[in-house]
Structure 1
Amino acid sequence: MEPGVLWESLPEEQAEAWHGGGSATLRQMVFGMNDGLVATVGLVAGLIFAGSSRGVVLGSSLAAIIAAAVSSMVLGSYLSTRVEVGYHEVQVRREQRAIAEPPHEELQEMRRLYQSCGMSDLEVAMIRSHLQRDKTLWLRLMLRDELGIVPESFESPWRNAGLMALAVAAGSLPPVLPVIFGQNPRHALVWVVMFSVLTALGLGSATARSTGRRWWRSAISFLAVASIAAAIGMGAGSLIAPLFA
């Protein structure tokens, strides 16, 4: 049986929204935006404090955003998801072969597994008898209970890559917008900080839905990280600028 056939034949999980794909997508988008925001606010603040012109600030920031989005998409999210899915598919095929062949070892593993959950020998025997008649259900349960694998939850590498690239780009824009619409980078610095603060607070609040933390704690955590990045960028700009004056 091919893995694709297995996935199509299994019923959809009736999981809570907390465990669903929507929550995973939210986490991925939020953390991608946070990565983009933290990296960009530090860069923009550093360039402004170094006395860079508006063109240099914009050019450097946009180049960094594109590089971050591409690297996050290709080298980060896509490759990590592809490796994870590939590993799980190997485990699926291994379990399929183990069940298709004389499954003495698999039956013993099943017995030990369910006995460790407190089931009696009679209950385990009933389960074994039923699963030997339904190989698809047997495979599903062994993947889930023995290996912790749920094929329906396998993610698409390209989808994850696209979401991550979009999130990084979206998170990188707020610190750059004041420079785009302003003329003097020094005058735009206040708006850079303000936009970054509001974005960090919003991202922190959004993570509360996925992490279960109080919204204000998540907001403060994100704000603290963004503030540290901005401070490092400003400090680096102040120290490096005199070297090239």
Structure 2
Amino acid sequence: MAKDFSLVPTAFTEERSSDGRATTIRQMVFGMNDGLVATVGLVTGLIFSGSSRTVILAATLAAIIAAVSSMALGSFLATKTEVEYLKAQIQQESRELEEDPEQELDEMRQIYRRYGFLDAETEILLARLKADKTLWLQLMLRDELGILPESFENPWSNAGWMALAVALGSLPPLLPIMLGSQPKEALIWVIGLSALTAFGLGGVTATVTANRWWRAGISFLLVATIAALIGMGAGTLIAPLLSSH
């Protein structure tokens, strides 16, 4: 049976297109936050351990490359697995529709009754579905399983946005070290730029949520602060061990 999903109403498709923007924002926010938090913790920890500028740059750049690769690959695999699972669900529903149409028709009948349609109205809808199996399959996917094929995410796109986001989020804590000479002198700039980035990143999330921008900014700032404090604490504990050698 042909599976043409192009019959979704135009208005509905346009409304769903906003999900693509939401997905991109989600990838960017998640990736930038991960890159920022991990890097600020690492850089501050290395500074407090007394590491040289060269060691900090080398260790942090290696960590960023590993994080970019890991997060991008993870995003790709997660999205690909989800899409494959949903496609398998579509194939299963298609087979069930062909093999036992009466059972599938009864399932749709129960769904429409739960929606509040009268029996006569439900039977009119079912008669329309029996005359158009492509439409029938579409509505089964949407109303029974909550699957919308036109909203499937692209694994390559998600991986690309994630890689870019992690790399961008990792830069603010590292820039002061790259541009400065003494790590401890650059510490205030590391913390300042990281805090500003975290607050701004939180504010961006307010564009797709109902949160106030300043509340979202503060919540992200708190997370980055906790990461920095953990890094500083770890560096303080590690420093004596390094100096003893």
TM-score interval, smaller chain: over 0.9
For 1:137-183, what per-residue CA distance to the aligned partner results, in whole angstroms no more than 9, with x for missing partners?
Answer: 11111101100100001111111111111101110011000000111
Write the letter of the residue equivalent to 1:174.
P
Q: Answer yes or no: is the 8 Å Cα contact 2:5–2:138 preserved in 1.
A: no
Which one is further off, 157-166 or 145-154? Answer: 157-166
Whether 1:73 aligns to 2:78 is no
**1:15 match:** 15
Gaps of 5+ in 1: none
**1:136 match:** 134
Measure, in 2, the Cα distance between the counterparts of 1:215 and 1:43. 28
SS at 1:6 equivalent: coil
Q: CA deviation at 1:8?
A: 4.5
Choose from 173, 197, 208 the match for 2:206.
208
CA distance 1:41–1:104, shift in 2 (3 Å) = same
Corresponding pairs, count: 241
Moved over 4 A (4+): 8-12
Give the TM-score normalised by the residue count of structure 1.
0.94
State the Cα RMSD in Å: 1.4
CA distance 1:117–1:8, shift in 2 (3 Å) = closer
For 1:84-105, what per-residue CA distance to the aligned partner results, in whole angstroms no more than 9, with x for missing partners?
Answer: 0011000111111122334010
Q: CA deviation at 1:20?
A: 2.4
SS at 1:210 equivalent: coil
% identity of equivalent residues: 58
**2:147 match:** 149
Gaps of 5+ in 2: none
Whether 1:186 aligns to 2:184 is yes
SS at 1:14 equivalent: helix
Give the TM-score normalised by the residue count of structure 2.
0.94
Q: CA deviation at 1:14?
A: 2.8
Measure, in 2, the Cα distance between the counterparts of 1:22 and 1:197. 26
Q: Answer yes or no: is the 8 Å Cα contact 1:27–1:210 preserved in 2.
A: no
Measure, in 2, the Cα distance between the counterparts of 1:16 and 1:130. 25
Whether 1:95 aligns to 2:93 is yes
Q: CA deviation at 1:10?
A: 4.3
Whether 1:26 aligns to 2:25 is yes
